[in-house]
Amino acid sequence: MTNRIAFQGEPGAYSHEACLAARPDMDPMPCDSFEEVIEAVRSGIAAQAMLPIENTTYGRVADIHRLLPESGLHILDEAFVRVRISLLGLPGARIEDIKTVRAHLVLLPQSSEFLKLHGIRGVSAADSAGAAANLARSKAAEEGVLASALAAKIYGLDVLAEDVEDHGHNTTRFVIMGPEPDHTRRGDHGMITTFVFEVRNIPAALFKAMGGFATNGVNMTKLESYMVDGSFSATRFYADIEGHPDDRNVQLAMEELDYFTSSLDIIGVYPRDPARD
């Protein structure tokens, strides 16, 4: 049986870092896209998938909410990774030597103050760890990369500056997914249930559906909407609540929700990570 955990990106990506932290006993497996990560688990090439959901600085990760319900996979755990951005350069390089840096588009604005202070121009790249690999091959002395310290170690680059992000709270939430659900566990810090639903086409359906959580004392930590198949009339909602489907108050809230929905699918029941606090 495979012991791989698939992630999107090159070795040294923050998703790779998340795999090492949350699943140190598994072998990280890089993939080119989120779709490939999901397919690796569905086909049995990998046992689990590490997928980023949201970041405290730039919000939710594009396409993930669309992919998760259609993946056929189930959330087993969540993991929070503090994104520490480092400036990487060739061995022996100095900060004052660097004229341009390459990084994933989302990292550049997160480090804008640092780049401005040092007069460095940012250039977007498809993948920060991939940019680190390219720098190691190109030997471009005046170029740097914004990436993880793990990427520096993997590709033989120097860390010229650490924690260059503008905000110290920069954290990404990941979910770990597998082919089979596990509703038997009870976490020491509580449980999270994640589900997606579409409301029926009746007046105030969403308002009425949400009422059951309030009246039954169920804390909803996330509620996000997104369009389905490019339609303005069909809206799907992604939600996280605190609790387990077997809890009586959660049962009552979900029964009321079901009455006002045209579809309702639970995609994960998993321990609440204390990093939420």
Catalytic residue numbers, as ranges:
172, 174
Question: Which residue type is seen at 125?
Answer: A
Burial class (CB in 10 A: 0-12, 13-18, 19+), 158: middle
Helix H or strand E encompassing 6? strand 4-8
Query: In sequence order, which residues have a C-beta less than 8 Å from that of residue 102 and are 6 or more positions away?
Result: 122, 123, 124, 125, 128, 131, 134, 135, 143, 144, 145, 146
Compute the distance between CA of residue 141 and CA of residue 122 in angstroms, rounded to an integer: 15
The CA-to-CA distance between both ends of the chain, in Å, stands at: 35
Q: Based on DSSP, count helices (H) and strands (E) in the chain, helices before strands.
A: 9, 15
Q: What is the distance between the alpha carbons of residues 85 and 189, in angstroms, rounded to a whole number?
A: 29
What tokens does 170 get? 């920069």
Q: Indicate the residue type of 21.
A: A
- Which ranges constitute the DSSP H helices of the chain? 14-22, 34-42, 64-71, 107-110, 112-117, 128-138, 149-155, 205-215, 248-259
**Which amino acid belongs to residue 25?**
D
**3-state class of 193 per DSSP?**
strand
Contact 27, 50 (CB under 8 A): no
